């Protein structure tokens, strides 16, 4: 089983990677992260040398690069943790939220459709899902 995990250098994504590698040591894990303010490569230090782990610095909005990775690695599952999530940052630059949270998500879903990926998990922010009525 090959899993692409986006946003895996962030707090939640990296902990998911650690969990998956411990629970499923025979799975191949590919972490795709742009390494923005939320991602820190040193977070992944415990798994960087593992033979079944690969880190790829990439923007999920880069359709050509994402398609190339999917074609090369033929993943079975995609888990998307990549998202802009700091509300105060969205006030300063709302376009980056649209790019990552909407366009990037669309690129990943299009790649899943194009390459026949049977399972896609979206873990994101209200900028993708919208707010919850109370």
Is the sign of the CA dihedral 96, 102, 108, 114 positive or negative?
Answer: negative
* pLDDT given at position 126: 55
Q: Both tokens of residue 70?
A: 């999917």
* pLDDT given at position 57: 97
Please tell me the pTM assigned to this model. 0.85
Render pLDDT for 19-51 as a digit per residue (tens, 0 to 9).
999 999 999 999 999 998 778 899 999 999 999
Nearest-angstrom CA–CA distance, 25 and 23: 6
Q: 32, 8 in Cβ contact below 8 A?
A: yes
Q: 128, 99 in Cβ contact below 8 A?
A: no
Distance, C-alpha 108 to centroid of its chain: 9
Residue 71: pLDDT above 70?
yes
Render pLDDT for 103-131 as a digit per residue (tens, 0 to 9).
889 999 999 999 999 999 988 655 555 56
Residue 90: pLDDT above 70?
no
């Amino acid at each position: 089983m090959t899993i692409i995990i986006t946003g895996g250098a962030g707090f939640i994504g990296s902990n998911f990677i650690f969990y998956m590698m411990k629970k499923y040591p025979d799975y191949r894990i590919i972490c795709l992260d742009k390494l923005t303010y939320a991602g820190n490569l040193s977070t992944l230090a415990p798994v960087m040398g593992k033979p079944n782990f690969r880190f790829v610095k990439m923007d999920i909005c880069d359709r050509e690069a994402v398609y190339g990775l999917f074609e090369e690695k033929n993943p079975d599952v995609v888990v998307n943790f990549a998202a802009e999530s700091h509300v105060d940052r969205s006030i300063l630059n709302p376009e980056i939220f649209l790019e990552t949270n909407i366009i990037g998500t669309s690129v990943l879903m299009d790649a899943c459709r194009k390459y026949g990926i049977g399972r896609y998990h979206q873990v994101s922010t209200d900028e993708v899902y919208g707010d919850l009525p109370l």
